[in-house]
Amino acid sequence: MRHGQGFEDLQRRLDDLRRRDMYRVRRSLEGPQGREVLVDGRPLLNFCSNDYLGLAGDPRVAAAFKRGIDRWGTGSGASHLICGHTAAHEELEEALAAFTGRPRALLYGSGYAANVGVINALLSVGDFVFEDRLNHASLLDGGWISRAAFAWFEHRDMADLDARLDEVEDEPTRKLIVSDGTFSMDGDPCPLDDLLAVAKRHEAWAMIDDAHGMGVHGTGGVGLVDPTHYSTADVPVLVGTLGKAFGTAGAFVAGDESLIETLIQRSRNYVFTTAMPSALAVATQESLAIAQAEDWRRAHLRALARRFRDGAGQLGLDLTASSSPIQPLVIGDPARALAISRRLEESGFLIGAIRPPTVPKGTSRLRVTMTAAHRMEDVDRLLEALGTIASPAPVESAVGG
C-alpha cells in the first residue's frame, strides 16, 4: 500500500518555527484597548494598536453599542440575504456612502472577507490582476484565489506596473490593479495619482484598500481617496475597515450602484456569512460621526509622529519613510527584533516584533503605532527606552514570541 506523508510532521514544523524565531504567541489582555493595556497584571504603554483615533475605548461608542443591544439584541441571526439585514445596517451603509462620497456602500464582516470577496466576484479565469508586492495578505489571497492571471509589481513602482500591463495590452478581458492605500507594515502611501494614470492608459480598474488611511488622513478623515478629487470612475473599488481608526469591527466596500449590486449577487464572502450584529452597526455610526467631527485627533496623531521621528533620527534608529501613525523600526534579524520587543516589555511598553512572512525576509521590525490617546510624554519615554535597548550593540536572543 502506498502511503503519503500525512500530517505527522506538524510538530516538527512547529519546532522548526521556534528554532528560527518565527513562532507566534497570542497575548491575553485583561482589559480594554487604550493608551495602556493590562497584560499579566502589569499596565503597559500600548504602541502596537491600530486604534489610531483612540475610539475603541471611547465611552460614547460604548454607550451607542449598549443602545444598539437594547434595540436589536446581540446577534443578527442570518446572512444579509436571508433575514439578517436590518435598518441599522442600512443606516450605516448610507452613512459610509456619504462619508466616502459614493453612491453605495456594502458591509462585510471583516476587511479580509471584503478584499477576498470583491476580487473573486469581479475576476475569474482569463482575467488579470496586478498587485503591489507589499499588499496586505487579504488582497494577495483574493488575487490568487480568483483564478485570474496574477502578476506582482514592485512596491510603489508605477513603471513596473505599466510594463506588466503592456504585456497583456491586447488581451480583451478584465484587468484589475490592486493596492493598499497606506501600507500596513511600512506606513507609506500608494502613489495614487500615478497609479490611476497607468490604470486609465490601459483601461484597467483600480481597487484601493484604505484600511489604514480612513479616519487618519484627509478632510474629516476621509482617507487617501478624497471624493473631492477622485470619483468612482477614477477608483471604482474602495475598501475601508471599521476595526482600526473607527474602533469597532467589520469592513465595507464603496462604489457605484452596479458594483454594489454585483457584490450582493456574486460575492461569496458576503452572501454566505452571518451579518454583523446590528448593535455593532449602531456603535460604528457613532464612531464615524466622532471621527469626522473631532479633527484634533488627526492633528495630535501628526504631532506624535513628528515627535517620534525627530527623536528616532537623533538616536540614529532606522525608520521607514512614513508620515502616518505607523512608524516601523527596522531591525533586520528576527531574533534581535524579538529580543528588543521583550526588553521593551520589561520596561513597560507593548510593541510586537513583526517577522516574515508578514514582512520580507531580512526586514523584521518593531511596528510602532501612535494613537490619539497617547501623550507627548509617552513618546518621550519610548524614545528614551529605545535609545538604550535598540542601540546598535547586540541584544541577547529571545526564544519564542
8 Å CB contact between 141 and 111: no
Q: 3-state class of 63 per DSSP? A: helix
Instruction: Give start and end residues of each alpha helix (H) in 233-333.
Output: 257-266, 268-271, 278-293, 296-315
Helix (H) / strand (E) containing 231: none
Q: Which residues on neighbouring strands pair with residue 180, listed in sequence order?
A: 209
Structural Rg of the chain based on CA atoms: 22
Does the annotation mark 324 as catalytic? Answer: no
Q: For the sheet containing 326-332, what is the strand order?
A: 326-332, 364-369, 353-354
Residue 93 gets the label, from left (phi > 0), alpha (psi -120 to 50) or beta, of alpha
Q: Looking at residue 151, what DSSP letter applies? A: E
DSSP 220: G
Q: Which three three-digit cell numbers place residue 91? A: 443606516
Using CA atoms, how far apart are residues 104 and 84, in angstroms rounded to an integer?
19
The tally of CA atoms less than 13 A away on the side-chain side of residue 343 is: 21
Direct distance between the N- and C-terminal alpha carbons of the chain, in angstroms, rounded to an integer: 42
Mark whether 244 is an active-site residue: yes
Choice among 80, 89, 212, 217 that is catalytic: 212
Task: Given the residues 179, 184, 267, 324, select the one marked as catalytic.
Answer: 184
Active-site residue, 184 included: yes
From 89, 175, 217, 244, active-site residue: 244
Catalytic residues: 184, 212, 244
